Amino acid sequence: MKHENQFESDIPPPDPDDPFPHTHPGTAEIQYQAHLQDAERRRQNRDLDAKIQRRDAATSGRGFEIQLIENFSARPAEKRWLVKNIVAKGETSAWIAPPGGMKSALLAELSICVARGTDWHGYKAKRRGNVLYFALERADLVRRRLKAHVERLGLAEDELLNIAVVPSLVDLMNPAIVQKVNETLDRAGFCFGGGAPDLVIFDTFAKAIAAGGGDEDKAKDQGRVFTHLAMIREEAMKYGGGGPHFAIVGHTGKDESRGARGSNAFRGDVDVEVAISGDSVKTATVVKANDMPEGPLFSFTSEVHEFGTDEDGDPITVNIVAEVEPGRSTPKGHEPRLSTNQRVMYRLLSEAGPEGLTVDAWNDLAREQGIATKQRHYEIRMALKDKRMVREYAGIWKVNNG
């Protein structure tokens, strides 16, 4: 035991000429520390060996490859955007509208912007991309729209060699279509100078199902189509970059507020669903998204492009998308019909401003107004959402303004 007045004293280093080194007072401590360091090295080596074995077992052997969370990157990989916050590689979007709703015209304009690498209705273009447009119906109309944009922009014919149209009926119900579409992607990549398609458009979803005798109303038929699309993308991953973005053009049902026509299984297979509505001025609105807020994206209108005249002197025209003129407001049209309780809950959310409300906070305010039950709150929220008057993102509900 050390005396309270005893001074600290450093132990002198061992003398290499000491005939009895094991008697040096620091020898035991040195050996003990060396033992601890050696034990720690052995433990680290065992952990490393185990990690390597787990990785090898996950990526080789029988069955499907699995990915362990310990092998994930430090943070999720950034999306490879073609158009920031709308169109990302490796994802699927759906663009729905009633007949004559300008959905195909909008996708033709998107094709031009992606191919040129230019911003689209205020959304930033992140890179130029190659575009392959499967025109399952009215291929001539698609070609005329693309040609109209080329003329409007004053582009030379060889400035957009990275857009191609497939003027064929494509049966996405048939398993054999997976190989045929991928062979088409390969051919397009060669024509594009070696770059695979980044944006692939299927116009329309109805024709892709009907070509194989399928039915939009049947979830199993829709599931079959989306399974084949997933297989096509998986094969296209060989090009790198996350695979192409698939944009699907679809129709709304008789009740536009209920979204895409047919089985609602459609929604579960797309990353983003955009509905187009309006009369002279149309608005593209996100009605379903995996990791972006729902609500209006932008508004647009249409205009007629004239190519010249035919042999009888009549104009040759096509209807294309155009920007809304400054100062021209989006018409309100018919205000949605709301019950008294729906109006109350909409007003409560509107008064919350841009910060919005959580479900619990919204329910509490509704109870103060005499709307008592949670079931009633839920029904009203869903009714307002179906009318595209409110949206929810990350647990916060907000009013759709615009």
Q: What is the per-residue pLDDT across 180-211, written as a single tens digit (0 to 9) for each?
A: 999 999 999 998 887 789 999 999 898 999 98
> Model confidence at 3, in pLDDT bands (50, 70, 90)?
low
* 272-278 vs 92-97, strand pairing mode: parallel
With cut-offs at 50, 70 and 90, classify the pLDDT of residue 347.
confident
- On the question of pLDDT at 14 being above 80, the answer is no
The string of pLDDT tens digits covering residues 18-41 is 666 666 666 666 666 777 787 788
pLDDT tier at 91, thresholds 50, 70, 90: very high
- Beta bridge mates, 289: 272
Average pLDDT, the chain: 83
- Could you read off the pLDDT of 149-163 as tens digits, one per residue? 999 999 887 787 899
Once rounded to an integer, what is the mean pLDDT over residues 89-115? 93
| C-alpha–C-alpha distance, residues 24 and 126, integer Å | 70
Contacts of residues 73-81 at CB distance under 8 Å and 24 or more positions apart, as own/partner, are 80/126, 80/127, 80/241, 80/242, 81/126, 81/127
Closest CA to 88 of 218, 270, 256: 270
Predicted local confidence at residue 313, as pLDDT:
86
Q: Please indicate whether residue 111 or residue 311 has the higher confidence score (pLDDT).
A: 111
Compute the distance between CA of residue 248 and CA of residue 142 in angstroms, rounded to an integer: 15
pLDDT above 80: residue 69: no
CA angle 364, 365, 366 (to 5 degrees): 90
- In angstroms, the CA 124 to CA 311 distance is 43
Residue 167 in tokens: 């003027």
Q: Which two tokens stand for residue 36?
A: 């601890």
